[in-house]
Structure 1
Amino acid sequence: MMIDALTLDQLRILVAVVDAGSFSAAARRLGRAQSAVSYAIANLEAALRIPLFDRGDWRPRLTEGGRALIADARAILAKADDLKARAKGLAEGLEAELSIVVDIMFPTRALVELVAGFQAEFPGVALDLRVEALGSVPQMVLSGACRLGVQGSLPDIPPELEHLPLPEEVAVEPVAAPAHPLAGARRPLPDAALREQVQVVLTDRSRRTEGRDFAVLSRRSIRTADLGAKHALLRAGLGWGFMPKELVQDDLDAGRLVVLRLGNRRPETRSMPLSLIFLRADPPGPAGRWVTARLTGRGG
């Protein structure tokens, strides 16, 4: 097989395996079957005529040749992305439609203000708005289903995505109904007490967080991908959980929910940073740049 047979997709898979640490982790990150990742690497090794990974250990390690070529692979991919981005910027006019996916924890107030401003600025551009949780947000951007995303509940940002931090974080509070067993505690709650009570947690529709949990402290849980359903379950006293403070403020003021005092409050459970994400190789057009500037506070 000639070296001309290698593809950019094979190089992207090579970089994904190196960055993720294993073939299975790279497959999850790319949203592909592990067999497809292994096949692509085998074809790349055949095209280059050298082994890239030592597979003798439980975790694949780059060979000497692989270590020598990985920097070149990254450089080629960066140049290819730059080429596509430059060509797109030269050819693109105003979008006919803009698709955006926002994290389920993104404040409703900010979302309404964004949509109202967008409609006033771009009345002729259709807006396709999605709301997802955890890994489903970057997955929709990576797949091309959405042009822009606001990622929050998943801290990991894939290397294929450009990410710009939003200036405000989402305040998060652990809450429960007033009649819940944890609500009446006079002292800060230890982890042992939290572990014994059902926690209502958000789950991921994608497979990007398979086998991982975020801010799950209880041994028993109720899992839902719907923040509204989680809110209703908490108000019904069926568990405790972390919620955006803005969403439950009325319930806290009315006594329908109470804030739990945790003895060991982890920093990641106090607030959630948000990032605007898009494919590096597919930057937004005029309407998308307006959204980017509006959300991040940057001119553009």
Structure 2
Amino acid sequence: MYRPKTTLEQWRMLQAVVDNGGYAQAAAALNKSQSSLNHAVAKLQDQLGVSLLEVKGRKAFLTPTGEVLLRRSRALTDTVETLEGLARNIECGWEPEIRLAVESIYPPAQLVALLAQFQPQSRGSRLQIYHSVITGTEELILNGSVDIAITSMIPRGFMGQSLCTVEMVPVVHRDHHLATIGRPVSGEELAQELQLVIRDTAAKPRELGGWLRAENRWTFGHFQDALQVVKAGMGFLWVPRHLVEEELEAGCLKVVRLRDGGSRSAVLNLVLPDPDQAGPGTHLLAELIRGLHNLPLNE
């Protein structure tokens, strides 16, 4: 079994000598004697059989070999510090992993803004993000598979807070005959068209809502895939308006004019399936979501 010749403390002392510009300055910064630093670096060089530093006047400079090894040593010591910090966080109850379910109609810009706020405070926790569709989010909550969820469906027995309302609109390519028909379309007419739908991510999906009357359907895993087909002139798709704002403004896509109303709304909610058992990282993430949507923060 391989046994390291060097120690992390030796590499930290080398880093301190370089970062502080010399042995005397590093000794003052670390509250150690200059002789102990001299001895540690000299022993490190001897153990490796290479020259890492050369002293010119009162300053120490890295050799070319020293530059390479110092750079790699920083990655090593940073990893150890992160590992030790994670151990402390777990000991005080901070979760090593947080599982977040996000319904696919949630605005991507909001998710990115949330992650940007959470990352500096995450304490090294892994974040598992599940993009779920329709009853898939409900299933994740009921199965205890996630710690926190953004969902349009709150299962019976669970509490939620309304975050935002997403407008869903039926869109087609500008040259599709539904866009050029010149009058509102009835539900019966729409049911005769090719409908592109997004697959429910539940293991046992249930049709609890949405417009799924068309018998001729093509099913996709993601909105972006289905939109590419719509842009090619095939079928219609109910899609969150925020995902197609640019295409609608540019005129590439058109909203189908419906006789009985041209849009539907879905309210997205914040759900903590088991708030009493949730760790501090999960509660922090929930608070950031509330703040992002201007909701009152929990005391």
The residue number in structure 2 matching 1:121 is: 121
The residue number in structure 2 matching 1:133 is: 133
Matched letter for residue 120 of structure 1: P
Instruction: Return the alpha-carbon distance in structure 1 between the equivalents of residues 169 and 92 of structure 2.
Output: 43
Instruction: Return the alpha-carbon distance in structure 2 between the equivalents of residues 107 and 204 of structure 1.
Output: 18
Higher Rg = 2
3-state DSSP class of the match of 1:110?
A: helix
The residue number in structure 2 matching 1:238 is: 234
3-state DSSP class of the match of 2:131?
A: strand
Deviation digits for residues 232-272 of structure 1 (CA, Å, limit 9, x no counterpart): 12212211021111111111122221111111127xx4221
The residue number in structure 2 matching 1:159 is: 156
Q: Cα distance, 1:142 vs. partner?
A: 2.5
Deviation digits for residues 35-56 of structure 1 (CA, Å, limit 9, x no counterpart): xxxxxxxxxxxxxxxxxxxxxx
Instruction: Return the alpha-carbon distance in structure 1 between the equivalents of residues 157 and 96 of structure 2.
Output: 25
3-state DSSP class of the match of 1:182?
A: helix
Deviates more, 1:192-201 or 1:282-291: 282-291
The answer to whether structure 1 residue 149 and structure 2 residue 149 are counterparts is yes
The residue number in structure 2 matching 1:76 is: none
Matched letter for residue 299 of structure 1: L
Which of 260, 266, 271 is residue 265 of structure 2 equivalent to?
A: 271
3-state DSSP class of the match of 2:149?
A: strand
- Seen in structure 2, the aligned counterparts of structure 1 residues 182 and 108 have a Cα distance that, compared at 3 Å, is same
Q: Cα distance, 1:282 vs. partner?
A: 5.2
The answer as to whether partners of 1:172 and 1:242 remain within 8 angstroms in 2 is: yes
Q: Cα distance, 1:208 vs. partner?
A: 4.4
Instruction: Report runs of 4+ in structure 1 exceeding 6 Å deviation.
Output: none
Matched letter for residue 158 of structure 1: P
What are the within-5 Å matches in structure 2 for residues 88-103 of structure 1? Answer: 93-103=93-103
Instruction: Return the alpha-carbon distance in structure 2 between the equivalents of residues 185 and 277 of structure 1.
Output: 43
Length, aligned pairs only:
204
Q: Cα distance, 1:192 vs. partner?
A: 2.1
Instruction: Return the alpha-carbon distance in structure 1 between the equivalents of residues 279 and 182 of structure 2.
Output: 54
Instruction: Return the alpha-carbon distance in structure 1 between the equivalents of residues 142 and 105 of structure 2.
Output: 20
The answer as to whether partners of 1:135 and 1:207 remain within 8 angstroms in 2 is: no
Q: Cα distance, 1:178 vs. partner?
A: 1.0
Q: Which runs of 5+ in 2 are unaligned?
A: 1-90
The residue number in structure 2 matching 1:41 is: none
The residue number in structure 1 matching 2:222 is: 226
Q: Cα distance, 1:92 vs. partner?
A: 7.0
- Seen in structure 2, the aligned counterparts of structure 1 residues 128 and 233 have a Cα distance that, compared at 3 Å, is same
Deviates more, 1:209-218 or 1:107-116: 209-218
Matched letter for residue 273 of structure 1: V
The residue number in structure 1 matching 2:24 is: none
What are the within-5 Å matches in structure 2 for residues 10-89 of structure 1? Answer: none
Matched letter for residue 179 of structure 2: A
Q: Please give the TM-score of this superposition, normalised by the length of structure 2.
A: 0.63
The residue number in structure 1 matching 2:172 is: 176
Matched letter for residue 297 of structure 2: G
Q: Cα distance, 1:171 vs. partner?
A: 1.9
The answer to whether structure 1 residue 110 and structure 2 residue 110 are counterparts is yes
Instruction: Return the alpha-carbon distance in structure 1 between the equivalents of residues 261 and 278 of structure 2.
Output: 38
The residue number in structure 2 matching 1:16 is: none
The answer as to whether partners of 2:147 and 2:274 remain within 8 angstroms in 1 is: no
Q: Please give the TM-score of this superposition, normalised by the length of structure 1.
A: 0.62
The answer as to whether partners of 1:160 and 1:279 remain within 8 angstroms in 2 is: no
The answer as to whether partners of 1:92 and 1:285 remain within 8 angstroms in 2 is: no
Q: Cα distance, 1:115 vs. partner?
A: 0.6
Identity %: 25
Which of 293, 296, 299 is residue 297 of structure 2 equivalent to?
A: 299
The answer as to whether partners of 1:98 and 1:126 remain within 8 angstroms in 2 is: yes
